[in-house]
Every structure is written in C-alpha cells, then in structure tokens.
Structure 1
Amino acid sequence: MKQIKIISALCLAVAFLLPAAGSAQTNRQIRKNNKSDIKKEESLPEDTVFVMPQVDSVQVAFRKVAKRDLLGDVSALNLSQLLEKNYTTSTLENLDALLSGFNGNIWGMGGYLVLVDGIPRDINNIMPTEIDQISVLKGVNAVALYGSRAAKGVLYITTKRGGNYEQKVNVRANTGLNVPKSYPQFLGSAEYMTLYNEARRNDGLPDLYSQQTIYNYASGTNPYRYPNVDYYSSDYLRNSYGRNDLTAEISGGNNRTRYYTNLGYWSVGSLLNFGEAVKNSGANRFNIRGNIDVKLNKIISLNVDATASFYTGKGVNTDYWGSAATVRPYRFAPLIPISMIEPGDAASLAQANNSNNIINGGYLLGGSQLDQTNSFASIYAGGYNRNVSRQFQFNTGINFDLSSLMQGLSFKTMLAVDYSSAFNQSYNNTYSVYEAAWNNYAGVDQISGLTKYGIDARSGVQNVSGSAYRQTISFSGQFNYARTFKQKHNVTGSLLGYGFNISESAVYHATNNANLGLQLGYNYDHRYYADFSGAYVYSAKLPIANRGAFSPTLSLGWRISEEAFLKNSEMVDQLKVTASAGILNTDLDINNYNLYQGYFTYNDAAWYSWRDGGLVHTFDRRRGDNPNLKFPQRREINLGLEGSLYKNLINFTASAFFSQMRGNVVQPGVLYPSYLTTGFPVYSDIPYVNYDNDQRRGFDFGIRMNKRIGEVDWTLGVTGTYYDTKATKRAESYQFDYLNRTGKPLDALWGLQSMGFFTSNADIAASPAQSFGQVKPGDLKYKDQNGDGIIDTRDEVYLGKGGWMGAPMTLGVNLTAKWKNITLFVLGTGRYGAKAMKNSSYFWVDGEDKYSVVVRDRWTPETQATATYPRLTTASSDNNFRSSDFWLYSTNRFDLSKVQLSYQFPANLFGKGFVRELGIYASGMNLLTIAPEREILELNVNTSPQTRFYNLGVKALF
C-alpha cells in the first residue's frame, strides 16, 4: 500500500506540476522570440441541447466527426459552455432535459456503458468542471465498434484539454444551502393510541390504552414521562445544510505541448444537529486531474492523463431516518433529566452521576428494555464512522502519422490502468440507557427509580470493514484512414482492436470485453453518405463453438438541402435524412458463466428411502445442457432527420427507432415435459436456451430557436424522448390469456382490480371467496376476473407502465435570455406516462407499525361514504396490502429544475490587471413540482429528504 501511494504521488507530480511549469516557461519564450507561434484562442462552440450547426465536431466511437457529417443516432452537449450559465453539481443532473434520447437510460434500455475518454469509468468520479463534451451514442451503428458491452448504448464523456494559447487560470467558488422539501408526517402519541384502540376493536379485542393515559400523552405537560417524539422536529434537525465547492483550472500550451489541470474540492453537511452528528456527519471530496498532449515530432505525438480523487463520508453508527419512519413516538424519551430525580433517591442520583454519558450537563440517555439501543443514544454515545474511497486513474496514448507510407493513414494506441479502493473506518462504543420509574407528588412528577440497560464502554479501537477494490485495464489500437479524392470523394476507415478487464473484490470472474472493429465510410461532396461499422465480439459465457460472432451495422445519409430543388431555398438552410440498421451480438444480459453446461449436486444422505436405517446418497441433476446457446441479439432500424430553417432561426433533430432484443437467455420449464423437473427430491433437466424476445420503439427530438428581440437575445430549446416496450415472446403457460406477459410492456405493473370496500358482512357473504385471509367490513374488495368465485393471484391484471427505464415520455425545456451582461437561464423537465404503487410502510400500515397521517382517512362505519383508506387492524392485512389499482398513482410531473441569473462584469473594468474576467451568479435547483400527486413524489421515507438547493457563485479568469 505504501508503494502504491508513493508511485501515485510521483505520477501526479509529473502529470500536474512539471508540464504546467514547463509549458508556462515555453510560452514565455515563444512570446518573447516568436509571437506568431501563439495563435489567438479560438472561440468555443455554444452550448447545445443536441447536435447543432455551431458544434464543430462530435465524439463518436474511436474518433471525432465533423458535425455536418454525423449520421444521426448521436446526441451531444458541450457541457463546458453550458456551465457558463448553468452551474451544476452533478454530471448527470438534468441531462434528460438537455439530450434527446436520454431519460436516465438510453431509448428505454438500462445498463448503458459509460466511457470517460474512451475508458470504462465511474461516472460519479468526474465533476462537471472537468468535462468538455458529453455524447450519447444511441443507435446500433453508433455503438457497434465498442462490442458486446455497449449494446444498450454509450454515454461518452470527453474531458477538457489544453490549447495553443497563453496560460489561463479559471477559478470558481460556490456556496449554497439544501432546504428540505417535506418530511413524512406521522401521528403523535395520543392520536396513535386512540387509533390503535380502534384497530383492536376492529379485531374484536379490548382497548389497550385508557382515556387517562391518552390524555396524559396529549397534554404535553411532561414529555419525559409521556413522550411524543417527533424525529423531524427542530430539536434534532437543522432547517438546512450547506454545500461548498472550489475549483481551479489551469490550461494553456503551444504548438508542441498543451496541458490542462483541474483541482477541485467540495464538502456537504447534514441535517442532523445533535450529538456526534454535529461534527461527524457529511462528506467531502478532493480531486486533481492533469491532461497533457505532446507533439514529439512530425510523426509521433502522445497524451498522458492522470487523475486522483479522495472521498470521505462521515456518519453516525445508526440509521436515523429508518428509525424516524418506524419507531412509535411514545416508546421512550430520548433524554432523562437528572434534575427530576427525587432528591432523596440517593441510589438513582449516584447512578446518574456515575454515567459516562451525561448529555448537555444534565440528561441521561433514555431507552427501555425493548429499546436498549436506539438512534438517539447511538448518535450521542455510539461513536461514528467514515466511508473512505480513493480512485487513481492513468491513461496514455501514442499517435503515429503514417502519411509518409500512405496519405491519410495513422495509427493510434491507448492504454489505461485504473485503481479504486473503499473501506469503512468506525469507532464503535457501547452505552447505557436508562428507563425511569415515575411518581407524582402533589401534582409534580418526579423520578423515583432508574433501570439501567447496557454498559458504557469506549474501546478506542478503530474498526476497519467493508473493504473493496476495483481495477480496470483498458487497451485499444487502431489504424485510421481519412482522405479526400478530387475534392468530393471523402473516404474514412478504421481497423481496431479494443478490450477492457474489470476486476472487483468478492467477484470471481472479471468483467471482460474484447472485440475487433471495422469502420468504413464514404461521402460524396458531403451530400450522400454511407458508413459501415462492425465488430467481431467474443464471450467466455457461451459454448466454445459459439463464443465469437460478427455484429454488422450500416448507416446511410442524404443531405437534401444540397440538391438543386432546395439549394436556394429561403426557408431551408440545412436538411439531412439518415437511416441505419444492424445486428449487435451481446452477452450483457447473460448473468453467469457456464449456463450452457448442466450440472449435478451431491446429496449427502439427507433422507431415508426404506425403513432399513440406511440413508440415501444421491447426485441430483440441477440443469440441462445446451451446447447451442448463442448471443442474444439487438436488431434495430433507425431513421433520422436534422436541419435548420430561416437562417438558423430554428434548428432541429429527430430520430425514430424500432429495436428488438431476440434470443434472451432463460430457463423455460413450460417448454419441456413436467417429468424433467421435480420439487422433491430436487431435480431439473431444463437447460438455458435463447427464447425470450423484447421490443422497443419510439422517437426523440430536439428543437432550438434563436431570436434577438430588441436588445435581448432569446434562445428556446425543447427536447423530447418517447419509448414503448413490449414482451413479444415469453415462455409462459397461464390458464387465462389476460395473465400473459406476452404483448405487455416490459415494465408492466400487475395487480388486482379494486371495487371499493366491503360495506357489511352481507356484502362479504355475497362476494367471491377471499384467499388472502379473513376479511371484514372496511377491507378492500376485488374483481373476480375469471369468474371462478375465488379472489386469488389469477385475478391480477395489467395496471400500467412502471417507467423502470425512465418515464415513457420525457420533455425538457430550456430558456436563455441575455441582455447586455445579464443572463437568465431557466430549465424545466417533464416526465409522463408511468405509474407507481403506494406500497411503502408509510402507506401499508398494520400490526405494530408506526401510523402515518394517511390513516386519518380510514374506513369506519361512520365514514364509509368518504373513506380513502382501509380499516385499521392490529393483525397482518394481506388482503389490503398487496398490489392493486387502489394503491396506484400517476408519476406524471413537471419540474422547474433550475433558474440561474448571472452577471458578467465588463471586461474594460479590469484593464490589463491580474483579473481578466469576473462573473457572479445566483441559482436555485428543484424549485417547483407541478403534479397531481406532488406530495407523494416529493416524499422520502426511510431516508433523508429531497431538497431544494439555493446557490451563490463567483467565477474569475486570471
């Protein structure tokens, strides 16, 4: 470990310090001797919500392509420019509103490949300030060269690099507050007891709490004897918590060496505001990146990139938010006041004074026999922990210009080695809690005795647990060819080998990807296009004979605006149509190795066959063989449209896709005779086969309009993504057709159809038999779909889409208004078409659960006409609390995700001073949600709350 740290430090020193100093010196020498070598820094492209004419080039697979020659199925965003008016704290924040085709996943497929500078890396380990461009590769032609692991799309991040300009230093500082949107609302002690008594009466049981007890808890006169604990009160939580960050970027270079360095730090606090959480709750992260490009001679150039990040998350040794959602408010008082102990109770006073944990000089830790450990005591005295993670990433590449051998020929290599590690450090203390015995003297409550549970002990030992590591080794080598013949015939080609290996702790088989790739492209005068991209992929998960397969794709394009009938059009500036199709072989959804092989397990004498005292030893068949198991295939056809109208007043792109995943690997018992599998003894001769098919289809679009009105420059951008999925083939054998998953969405929600509440015993007697337990008036009544007189799982029906791969319809709207040096940016996001179940413990309440406010609308004989919640019960309510349309709600929403107001100080204000540019801005995130079920969508249970974020920032160029 020590050696690794030393090597890392040396690498970082070389990567970050020497080039910056050397390049700065070189710049000074060049400025002195030959000013013509320093070019004026080129203006960077404007931010885009999709690929726009202002974008010079877009990163695609293994190369950059001029925007005008892009053949669809790719969306790109220049994040470096967007940050000038839209400060963001996370790489993926609001990308679904800025990139068409991306809604958190790509075209309804989960599991896209994240590449940072061509290397598979953790997207959470890169900050927005480090990023130049984000490309989303969606279609089969766009991702083919990356092989099997890219079959569900690629999100490609290109980091910033230096340029041929004088050294510049960009500094950005931000400070902000996270303010909770809402907290769960639970009943207080007295109301809980009242309704719990009602639940017992519903079950035919006597009341548990007397009216005097309920009154004592309701009065609030002694919260230590009659606690009414609100975990979300200001006694324990702050109104807000802060986040701060600071970033410095140093870049520059000349015609031989270019460099970019990024140093960043951020810290974030916590809502918890007592005990150990005050100083040991929150997180911080430091990162440093260096990217260097060197031209050694006319033939050879190279790049060396290195980055390191150091994350520390601090926390307490308890799940406070989980306790807040589950522990009933009257269970115990968090603190016991020493001042309320009877003066004559020497034993209790001595016990209190000898405690190792006297809180705020006058309180003991509260608890009970059932609550000997609890979140309050753990935060005050249970110690703390730190989650530590470190990541070091290094990659280098060498480029060879082989034009001396063949004009347009080059060779490029890349090698990357990444290491990450994580572990937990904790100090685990034990503690005592106390339960008070109370007396009342002349109306005054006093403690007449203390019962102690637990032992106070601080070991001082640091415990290390949860160690994990990850190593990624990636390599690629490629021959590239690009040449223009007779000024109109543009030919490109790439022949490449690419692979990576990801090893993780506690995972026996590493994640591998290895493939050969071929790209051949031609366009005539940038008017007619053809691009072939294919890969030969390999997978060790398949039988030896089927481990290799070829994935061919083809794209065609036609720039219609270059034709004579449109070339002089006053309306159409640019118009291009594209089409692509292909087949990708992938093992991405094959979840294990050797599934093609059958296997046996040895049963070591688990049962007797005869009454002779002899145990049976058997070999049990568990799976059949399938030597013909093959790659599942993604088969797809896409159409694209891109253009601009009225001298770039309106720019637009659109794509439509039809995709199938064929031959998904399953173990389909229904396709084989029943005698091939038994329950006891356990036996199965069913193999894994390529059988299930899925279908996805949809479209995405992006529109941007630019207009100057008076002295204000307006830009309006709209993006949208719609997708629909269907299970087109399934191995299933249901008795009734409506139960079939074939023909239904892949994210289908299934459940019973509610018909309201049972109103009386006569209503129950006249209804079908209930198989989910005894029902009473006030319980849910369901429709008997098959008419067999029994309500069971065979009456479940399709209820709606769950949106598990993102909402079926996503819309993004962004508006920019610039007046002189003031810029206003507004971003909104809409998500539509999905549903969800109210199935958390906040809504499904029975037994000894903590009651939320939803139970106030429970069914009673008096409220049966207006009730919206089933009757209360102290028993298990399997009939009521199961998936049904009663608990279904719409997740449709529109969010005002971002508003930022920026001001750039005039450049002439600083003259030739040290500061070249200065800007300030104020922003708000997650400001408003418009939705029919807003309260549910903004509610977090069992975890920290959702927040709104208000930020002030300053940026300067030196």
Structure 2
Amino acid sequence: MNKLYFNVKGKHLYLKSLSRGLCMVMLVPFFATAQKKPGSKKTKDQVEIAGITRGQLSNIYGEPLFGVSILNKATNLTALSDKKGNYSLMADSGTVLMFSLKGYLTQETKATGRALNLVFTETEKPQASVYRLYDDQKKTTSILSSESIYTRDLTSSPVTAINNALSGRISGLNTLQTTGIPGLDGAGISLRGQNPTVLINGVPRDLSSIDPEEIESVTVLKDALATAMLGQRGSGGAILIRTRKGEVGKQKISFTAQTGLQTPIRLPKPLDAFNYATLYNEALANDGKPPVYTAADLEAYRTGSDPVGHPNVDWYKEILKSNAPFTRYNLNTSGGGNNARYFVAVDYLDQGGLLKTADKNVYNTNADFKRYIVRTNIDVDLTKNLLLNLNLFGRIENGNSPGGSLISGSANLGVNRILNALAATANNAYPMLNPDGSLGGNKDFQNNIYGLSTQSGYTLSYTRDMSADISLKRTLDDVLKGLWLKAMASFNTNLSEVTPRGKTFAVYQAQNGPSGLTYQRFGTDGTIAAGSSTNTAQYKNFYSELSAGFDRTFKDHHINILANASSQNISIYSDLPLSYNTLAGTVSYDYKGKYLAEAAMSYSGLNRYRDDKRYGFFPAAGLGWNIAKEDFMKGTSAWLNTLKLRASYGRTGNANIGYFVYNQYFADGPGYYFGAGSGTFVYSAAEQQLANPNATWEKADKLNLGLDGGLFNNKLSFSVEYYNNKYFDLMQTRGRNTAIIGNSYPLENIGISRYKGIDATASYRNNLNNFNYFVSGNITSNNKIVEYQDEVFRPYDWMKRTGQRTDQIFGYIADGFYKDAADIAASPKTEGYNPVPGDIKYKDLNNDGVINQFDQKALKNNRPMIYYGLSFGFEYKGFDFSALLQGAANRSIYVSGSTQWEFQDDGKGQAYAQHLDRWTPATAATATYPRLSIGSNPNNQASSSFWLQSGNYMRLKNMEVGYTLPQRLVSKIKLASVRVFANGMNLFTLSANKQIDPETFGNGYPAQRIVNAGVNIKL
C-alpha cells in the first residue's frame, strides 16, 4: 500500500498520493473543526488522525511563534506554524522532525503519535546570515572577521550607554569605563587596540546613548576585508548598530518598566582627623620641622570633644549619598502586513546623581541626567519590487550639575570640582557647618565642599539630536534575476547648550573668645545669577549613498557583487565642512559553499588633504575553504556541520589629519603703539605651526587567519583568529627637531606600530526537554609594539621608545627603601636630591654611580594584554537566568595624585588608608609605603615602578534572573506575556588592588554598581 504524505502551508494541502487525494481533502475540514462529544474526555496528548503530528510552538516567554518551519526529514514535507503557533504535518511515529525559525535554536525531535509542543530559545547568532557594511551575507560562505550580539543580551544590562552593555561579550572588543558621571558613563571602546568607526543603520555617526530595546544587533568588523570599503575610515575596524524593524504579523506591544539603585563600586578611604594629625606630625619630623599638633590637639581629635576647633568631617559621607535611583520606561510596538511594516519605540531614562542636596533650595543641585528617545522605523512596499524604508530618531538629554557662574564651559566641571575637593581636603580642615548653621571655612579653605555642592547654584545642560534616514531599494529581477539597486539619504543634527546659574557663598571661621563664639567671614554671599545659554556643541551630518548589487546562483556557483558610492558632509561649529567621498565595491564567489573567495576595494577621499593628495586606493582579498563539505568528510556529516579555514589580507586607511594642515597660517601676534601720545595700536602677524603640504592618511596592512567550526547541528560552535596588523605613516612629531627655527615642527607621516594577537570564541547551546541552557566564552590577546618612532638621541637601549608597547610608561626601577644612613652612603647618589631613610631607592642601570634620567626605562612588560568574557544561563518552565563574567589580565595601571600621595596641595591635602603602612624605623621590615613627607617629594613621587600596580581583575559584570508567568494566567487578562526580572551590573569584582576600582580610580566620579528590577508586559 502506498503511504500518503502531505504538507500544510496555511490552508493549502499538497497531496502525494493521487489515489487517496480526494479522501484526504475531504478530511481536512474535519481536522480543523473536530470537537469533543458531549461528556467525553480526551487527554491533551490524543491525536484525532493517525500519522499526523500537530502541536503548538512558543518561546520561553509563552508567546506563540509564527512562521516556524517544520521539516519531515524522511519525506522532505514541510509546514509553517500559524499566528497562534499551531502546526500540523503528516509524520509517522518515529520520524525525525526539524523545527527552525530565524533567531531561534533549531530543534530536532521524533514524532511520537502524540501532540508535540515545543518551547524555543533564542540563538546567540542567527544561523542564516552575517552582517557586513552594506548588506548581509550567508554565514556558511562568509570569510569576513565579524561577530554579533543581539537584543536580548543588550537589554539584560541596566545601562545608559550601549557601550557598557558590550563589555566581555565580543572577542577583540575591549571596554574601559573611566567615569560614572550620569549621562557620561559610557565606556571607551577599542577594537584590537584601535578606535573603530561606528555606523548606525549604515551611516557613520556616534549615538551610543540609545535605548537597548530599539537595537536589533551590534556587529563588529575586524579585518581589512570587512572594512576596506570604508576607505579612509577602515583602519580601526567598525561597529555596526542595526535598529529593529517591523515584521509581518499582528501588532505586538511591549512595555518595560524598571527601577534600581546605583551605589559606588569603590571610594577612596581617607584617614580620620586623629590619624591624619598623627601622621602629619610624623611627616613634619621626617622633613626636619616641628610638629603643629599638640598632644591636646590629638586627644581632641580622638575623642571628638571639640567639633568646632578640632573638626573630624568624613567628607565623602557628608557630600555623597550611599545610593542614587535609576529608572527607565520603554514602550514599543511593531507589526504590519505584506505591504507595510513598522517599529515604533519611546523610551525614558532618569539617572540620579550621588550628591546630597539641601532642603532649603528651590532648585536642584544634584548631578542628574534625564533622556527621552523616540524612534520610528517603517518599511513600505510601494510596488512588488520597490521598497521604501524610513527611519526617524529623536533624542532629548537634560543634565543638571551643581555650580554655575564660577564654572564655565561644561556642567560637568562643577561635579569634577567637588570630587577634586573631596580628594584633597583633610577631615580636620574645617567643620562642614558651624554651630549657627553657617558654612565652615578659614583663610586656607574658602570653598566649603558642602557649599560647592549645595550653595553655589546649578548648571543646566541640554542636548538635542534628530536624524532621518530614507532609502529606496528596487529589485530588478524583471531585468536580470538577482540584480538590485538602492539609494539612501540621511541627515542628522546635534545641538548642545549649557546654562550656568551660579552664586557665590561665604564661609565663616568660628573662634572662641571672652564673649563666646565669634565668626570671621571669608567671601560673599550672593544670589543666583540669571545666566545665559552657551552653545557648547553643534553638529550636522548629511550622508548620501547609491549602491547596486547582484546575487545569483548558477548551479554549483554562487556570486555576489556589490558596488557602492557614498558622500558624507560633516559640519562642526564654524569649521569648514569635513567631506568624505568614497567609491567602493566587493565581489564574493563560492563553489558549492566549499571554496570561497572575496575581494573588496575602495577609492576614498577627504577634503582636508591637498587637492592632488586627497584620494587613495584601499584593496583587500580573502580565501576560504569549508572542509566539512568535502567528499572525504561525508562520514562526519552527522556531527560536523562546519569546519572552515579563512584568510584575508588588505590595506585600510585612517584620516588623522587635523584642520587643513597643508596650508601655512598666520594669526595676530604681539601688538605695538605707533605715534605720539596714545598712538595707534597695531598687531603683528605671527606664523603658526609649520604646515605639512605632504600630509596624507595613516595606513594599515592587515593579515587575518581564521578557523570556524560548528558541531552537533551547530549546538557547539567556535572561532579562532590570528591577526597581524601593521600601522604605518602614523602622524607624529619628529623627536629630532630643533627650536632654532623659531617654530613648532608639524605632524608628519613617520610612525610605525604593529598590533597582533589572537581572538577566540566558543559557545554551546542545547536543551534537555524543557531545560534550555548555554555557555559562551571569548578571549583576546593583544600585543601592541612601536616599530619605529623618530626619537631624540638616547644613549642606552632601555631608554628607547622604539620596540616598546604603544602605551608604555618610562621611569625608575624601585629597589625597596633606604634602610639607614649607611645604606644611603653605599648606594648611588640621586642627582639633585639628598635621600633619607625610608625614601624609595632606585636601580642604577648604567652603573655610573648616579641616579638620573639615564636610569629610566620601560616600566610595563611587552607581553600582550588579555581580556575575556564568560556568559552562561538557562531557561526552565518560565524561569530564566544569565550571568556574565568579564575581566583583563597582564594589565598595569599607574596610580598617582591626591588620592594616592599624602599631604598634597602645599601640605594641606588629605591622607589615606595606605599611608598607615608607611615606612618608619619600627616598620622598616613590613612597610609598603615610603616615609611620609609634606607636599611634593621629587624622589618618592618620581615616575617609577613603585607606582605601577596590577590592573588585573575579574568582574561579575552582569546577572539577570527572570520569571515569565504561565500563559494560562496571563491569557485571562488578554495579555501575551508578563515577565518579571531583576538584574544587576558591576555586581562583584576580584582584583589585585583592594584599594581602588581597576577601571575607575583616582579622584573622578566613581563607577556604579546597579541593582535593578522590572516587569515586561506584552500584548
């Protein structure tokens, strides 16, 4: 008997047996409408017709999945799930069915003759394609060096800047967060040691402060083949940010509300007044000076018996709050039909600052940040072959900061001024408030920190951004199959203003007299100034692009051709426009997906170069071999999906030119009076820095070798890459210049550096029934060496900069502390300084008996820096969990300044916990800090290895726990899903240095630990 198979797509039945076709067609309505008989009981696992498998498909949030492709691997029949996630397919018991949907992990399971309901988890990477500059490419045939992360990873981190959500998630990408100032806490990013070009929806621009929920993906492009088409902006690699689009289907509405608390990761640890005064007297004695604090003073500080005359103010505790709020709301909707799709999102973020405020003020003096975002992405099929895309983006950022008229230029200067004062002011400097409520102070301290924070006025900052992208894409299959044409235009503008509204305040020194307390005033109490807005930044960007492509398969041969012409005009303030013009193209070819080749190029120009030196040619090429597709590998096909070798080499450029440096400029110089009496004042003309008419772009020759693998239906995947990049024609000033010409030498294309290392990633995703789990890791080594630098003459090799890492620091090699006078006498003499016991001793590298500049060498080793990330998580019956560990190794940091050194600021500065471990004759064997002194010490504070400390760390960067309510509950209130979650950022840090945060240290605004909770509701 012939078996009957059919495939259900929508309402259409594809019959495989003509003899029984009519019977099966008659049964279809029965399949769709069969009802239980009154009083009958039927289990959920019963199936009405033998040989048919049916069920419902959903994601981990309980949402039905539409468009899942179900393949019967025995018969090649397929079906698609409907809008409710339901499907039905002819399949005998024991037949293997494969379920796949873009963005979700493919699952294979056997039909059992019962209902087959599956829960899908999102994949780490889409299986079908990878993103590149101007289009997509099949993942199986791509030989580019690229890596992507997607919405779910980005939204699990409570961040204001998307940069912070990338930490530890992509190999080759390193982040460094140096400040926690609200609204400006975005981490700096380097890609294989370089500054990448950022493109939003294909347009070069930097908008890192955007809503994570509006982002579909973030992709990094690393090698020359991937970035050659950027021309003079390709050397640093590229970061592509694609925003979400609407999809065919019913309208989806998602609302997320979340709120949390921010707390400083680590703050400096100043000494209390008693310890401060004790160490101060000791430092004076070390300097041969008499003490300033008596025994009675020390006792008063110890007991706190005289808070006016002997204050003990913990300034960090009095000025900074223990935590600050973090709140964000997001509402987005998407949907559409075959003719039009849409995605619309609005987002509100409120990030509070750590500064305490005063109730009596009617205005805000905290360092707060608020952001409002609106995005609309619309796709419209004007005709069958013509697609219109319109993206609109608007952003408003409002910042607030203490201080006003005393500070100019930027609102953040007020915050930094307070933090500098916190780091430099001793706990016994003055009382915060006098008994009468006035601000404490004296002639040495006339800027009370509490006054700076709450009584110096405030500054408002405003930033407005708007962008509009429009494109038309015409497929030309009616002319030539696989041919398409696209035109795009984009405009965005930015305006930033600062409005200072400051005031002055007086401080008062309380003094005990015969009639009680009297007060001496310093300064003047003023009123809030009206202030006027100052334009601090203005930016306009117009970008246009025309591209054409051809994508076609001819039997076993596949070819993809892309040509692109782009022009970008950038205006900043009153500068002449910066204009990039580029012609670019790429051709890729593969034979049976087995042998791969691609070539890319660009001819790119910039108007900041001389007319005859504006354009350059940037080529790149690559080859690949998917070994898994070879005939001799057929025996491995059951478990080996991909084993691909790839290699690329090419040249890229970097426009690091400055402002029309090929022209010689003259400006007003010193003036003189001519004539009798007051005369006439006439300015002279002064020559500016020498011009460089031969200035050109910096260049990079890049080699990239890669191995990619996919095993067990791509549940296990890995990628390992070796890169070797030579950067040359780097803009540098000659070391062997001379002042005899009476002018400064220009920057010239003379430097050479080499960056090389290894990127590696691996991930595993699988499921055991309803338990879905994953683990993913990445690691990068990056070695960055100066191969040539025009140096001044240096007599010893250890002094030379060439051959050292690009971020090298030079100084003395510390060799412990001087023990006593005999040790000093037996040691080399320090030029210009007479050391005493407890001072840092340095090595005499040239053995001439003198410590001077000829004994300074490279302090950091030349081993590669290593940074890494490890993420893992699971989903089970509505529960989900994910975590990310991120860190760095072989990293060094140089510590200095007011939070590291004692009694700075002419001896009026603070002292800290590390100073308790100072050298004294009694602690000589265990001391970790040199003997104390007042103010600057030219020997102990000289650049040396003593102040170079380990910057290695591992941080629990992100963790999230969520629970999605059962569908049977939320459906009763007409909702698609409800998920509650809690997440955190910078939760825990292991580092070699316990005193400081390994990324944000010194006297800056501390990085924040954020603990956050929220709810996501979908309709």
Question: One fold, TM greater than 0.5?
Answer: yes
Out of 524, 545, 550, the position equivalent to 1:455 is 524
Q: What's the counterpart of residue 23 of structure 1? A: none
Out of 656, 662, 675, the position equivalent to 2:722 is 656
The answer to whether the 8 Å contact 2:228/2:618 transfers is yes
Report whether the alignment pairs 1:66 with 2:144.
no
Correspondences of 1:685-724 after superposition (within 5 Å): 689-709=748-768, 712-724=771-783
Q: 1:593 to 1:885 in 2, by over 3 A?
A: same
Q: 1:47 to 1:174 in 2, by over 3 A?
A: farther
Q: 1:532 to 1:378 in 2, by over 3 A?
A: same
Report whether the alignment pairs 1:302 with 2:362.
no
Q: How far apart, in 2, do the equivalents of 1:392 and 1:649 lie?
A: 42
Report whether the alignment pairs 1:519 with 2:582.
no
> Among the aligned pairs, what percent are the same residue?
27
SS at match of 1:462: coil
Q: What's the counterpart of residue 635 of structure 2? A: 568
Q: What's the counterpart of residue 842 of structure 1? A: 899
Structure 1 alignment gaps of length 5 or more: 1-35, 339-362, 441-445, 607-616, 671-676
Report whether the alignment pairs 1:809 with 2:866.
yes
SS at match of 2:477: coil
Deviation at 1:811, TM superposition (A): 1.4
Q: What's the counterpart of residue 848 of structure 2? A: 788
Q: What's the counterpart of residue 352 of structure 1? A: none
Deviation at 1:482, TM superposition (A): 1.4
Deviation at 1:876, TM superposition (A): 2.6
Q: How far apart, in 1, do the equivalents of 2:735 and 2:779 lie?
A: 41
Moved more, 924-933 or 553-562: 924-933
Out of 825, 832, 837, the position equivalent to 2:882 is 825
Correspondences of 1:451-600 after superposition (within 5 Å): 451-459=520-528, 461-465=530-534, 467-486=536-555, 488-505=556-573, 508-569=575-636, 570-587=638-655, 589-595=656-662
Deviations 1:709-753 (A, max 9, x none): 575322111111111111112222311112122222112222211
Letter in 2 for 1:56: A
Letter in 2 for 1:947: Q
Q: 1:699 to 1:170 in 2, by over 3 A?
A: same
SS at match of 1:309: strand
Deviations 1:159-203 (A, max 9, x none): 001111111100111111112333211122222222212211111
TM-score (norm 2): 0.81
Correspondences of 1:103-122 after superposition (within 5 Å): 103-104=174-175, 105-122=189-206
Deviation at 1:331, TM superposition (A): 2.0
The answer to whether the 8 Å contact 1:747/1:802 transfers is no
The answer to whether the 8 Å contact 1:624/1:687 transfers is yes
Q: What's the counterpart of residue 731 of structure 2? A: 665
Q: How far apart, in 2, do the equivalents of 1:489 and 1:277 lie?
A: 73
The answer to whether the 8 Å contact 2:964/2:979 transfers is yes
Out of 216, 237, 240, the position equivalent to 1:153 is 237
Q: 1:465 to 1:368 in 2, by over 3 A?
A: farther
Correspondences of 1:320-359 after superposition (within 5 Å): 320-338=418-436
The answer to whether the 8 Å contact 1:147/1:514 transfers is no
Q: What's the counterpart of residue 16 of structure 1? A: none
Q: What's the counterpart of residue 863 of structure 1? A: 923
Q: How far apart, in 2, do the equivalents of 1:723 and 1:141 lie?
A: 20
Report whether the alignment pairs 1:429 with 2:515.
no
Letter in 2 for 1:594: V
Deviation at 1:302, TM superposition (A): 1.1
Deviations 1:71-99 (A, max 9, x none): 13111112x23357666554123424221
Q: How many residues of Structure 1 are paired with residues of Structure 2 in the alignment?
A: 868
Letter in 1 for 2:652: L
Out of 81, 99, 110, the position equivalent to 2:152 is 81
SS at match of 1:364: coil
Q: How far apart, in 2, do the equivalents of 1:280 and 1:630 lie?
A: 48
Letter in 1 for 2:135: R
Moved more, 63-72 or 160-169: 63-72
Q: 1:373 to 1:885 in 2, by over 3 A?
A: closer
Report whether the alignment pairs 1:386 with 2:453.
no
Q: 1:199 to 1:626 in 2, by over 3 A?
A: closer
Letter in 1 for 2:797: D
Out of 480, 486, 496, the position equivalent to 1:412 is 486
The answer to whether the 8 Å contact 1:200/1:206 transfers is yes
Q: 1:667 to 1:898 in 2, by over 3 A?
A: closer
The answer to whether the 8 Å contact 2:144/2:225 transfers is no
Q: How far apart, in 2, do the equivalents of 1:43 and 1:758 lie?
A: 71
Q: What's the counterpart of residue 403 of structure 1? A: 477
Q: How far apart, in 2, do the equivalents of 1:407 and 1:764 lie?
A: 86
SS at match of 2:474: strand
Report whether the alignment pairs 1:289 with 2:387.
no
Letter in 2 for 1:286: Y
Report whether the alignment pairs 1:197 with 2:281.
yes
The answer to whether the 8 Å contact 2:843/2:855 transfers is yes
Q: What's the counterpart of residue 377 of structure 1? A: 451
Q: What's the counterpart of residue 613 of structure 1? A: none
Q: How far apart, in 2, do the equivalents of 1:278 and 1:461 lie?
A: 13
Report whether the alignment pairs 1:728 with 2:802.
no
Report whether the alignment pairs 1:218 with 2:302.
yes
Q: How far apart, in 2, do the equivalents of 1:427 and 1:415 lie?
A: 40
RMSD across aligned C-alpha pairs, in angstroms?
2.9
Letter in 2 for 1:193: A
SS at match of 1:941: coil
The answer to whether the 8 Å contact 2:952/2:992 transfers is yes
Report whether the alignment pairs 1:944 with 2:1016.
no
Q: How far apart, in 2, do the equivalents of 1:623 and 1:420 lie?
A: 31
The answer to whether the 8 Å contact 2:578/2:608 transfers is no
Q: How far apart, in 1, do the equivalents of 2:292 and 2:353 lie?
A: 39
Deviations 1:559-614 (A, max 9, x none): 11110111331442211111111112332x3344324x6678898699xxxxxxxx
Letter in 2 for 1:82: D
Q: How far apart, in 1, do the equivalents of 2:540 and 2:588 lie?
A: 35
The answer to whether the 8 Å contact 2:160/2:210 transfers is no
Q: 1:311 to 1:866 in 2, by over 3 A?
A: same
The answer to whether the 8 Å contact 1:817/1:823 transfers is yes
The answer to whether the 8 Å contact 2:775/2:873 transfers is yes
Deviations 1:521-547 (A, max 9, x none): 211222221111100011334333322
The answer to whether the 8 Å contact 1:769/1:791 transfers is yes
Structure 2 alignment gaps of length 5 or more: 1-79, 86-99, 107-120, 176-188, 404-413, 673-682
Letter in 1 for 2:975: V
Q: What's the counterpart of residue 707 of structure 2? A: 641
Deviations 1:252-296 (A, max 9, x none): 111111111010111122222331599442221111111111111
Q: How far apart, in 1, do the equivalents of 2:508 and 2:670 lie?
A: 51
SS at match of 1:264: strand
The answer to whether the 8 Å contact 1:180/1:240 transfers is yes
Q: How far apart, in 1, do the equivalents of 2:635 and 2:935 lie?
A: 78
